[in-house]
């Protein structure tokens, strides 16, 4: 374990703080990083209150897997519209619900492709608003994290059917018709809701 001291406002220190999710209000704080797994762990005690024994036990618990990673999360929203907004704190509750098929877009606010996709994603959610167990959702992956999600690029779209919560990465076209066709072929919930027939728009 390499020990280092860092601020949060200069060069690489600022980028490190953004990656960890450390704000000025949280200083001082002690964090352990496991770069291979991209996992971060915040010590419960302030560094000023930690003894050598406290630090040793904390590091041993991190390395043994006894501690859960510390994940970034915004505060949950009301979610009273067709599109569900997921944050780190409610990811497990909303995505791992084994009664629902869930399609999630992991996005970044600054991402041009994500901005282009946003109105299409809203339309997709509205199109299936009446299908009770099909959730169309999005999560700002710069402000939120989930332990089982590793986002390598934006947008990343993952489908979590009710019988496979490991998730299936969507790599098809990015137009509304592409998403609809893919869901009609892959969502058991949607097939049940439509009697197995592809839903057709009125001419």
> For the chain, which domains are there?
11-64 (no CATH), 84-193 (3.40.30.10)
Radius of gyration from C-alpha coordinates of the chain = 20
Q: Which residue has the tokens 């869930």?
A: 102
Of residues 69, 131, 82, 95, the one with CA closest to residue 106: 95
Per-residue pLDDT of the chain (203 residues; tens, 9 = 90+): 889 889 888 888 988 888 888 888 888 999 999 988 778 999 999 999 999 999 999 999 999 999 999 998 999 999 999 999 999 999 999 999 999 999 999 999 999 999 999 999 999 999 999 999 999 999 999 999 998 898 889 999 999 999 999 999 999 999 999 999 999 999 999 999 988 654 444 43
pLDDT, one tens digit per residue, over 56-79 is 999 999 999 999 999 989 999 999
**pLDDT of the residue at 197:** 53
């Amino acid at each position: 374990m390499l020990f280092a001291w860092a601020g949060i406002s200069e060069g690489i220190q600022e980028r490190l703080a953004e990656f960890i999710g450390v704000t000025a209000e949280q200083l001082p704080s002690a964090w352990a990083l496991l770069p291979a797994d991209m996992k971060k762990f915040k010590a419960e005690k302030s560094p000023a209150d930690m003894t050598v024994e406290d630090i040793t036990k904390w590091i041993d618990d991190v390395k043994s897997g006894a501690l859960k990673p510390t994940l970034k999360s915004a505060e949950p929203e009301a979610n009273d519209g067709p599109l569900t907004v997921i944050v780190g704190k409610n990811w497990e509750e909303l995505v791992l619900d084994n009664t629902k098929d869930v399609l999630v877009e992991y996005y970044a606010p600054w991402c041009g492709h994500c901005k282009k996709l946003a109105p299409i994603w809203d339309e997709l959610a509205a199109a299936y608003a009446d299908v009770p167990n099909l959730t169309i959702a999005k999560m700002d992956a710069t402000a939120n994290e989930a332990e089982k999600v590793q986002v390598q690029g934006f947008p990343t779209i993952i489908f979590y059917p009710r019988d496979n919560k490991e998730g299936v990465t969507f790599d098809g076209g990015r137009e509304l018709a592409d998403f609809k066709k893919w869901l009609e072929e892959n969502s058991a919930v949607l097939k049940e809701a439509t009697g197995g027939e592809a839903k057709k728009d009125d001419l």
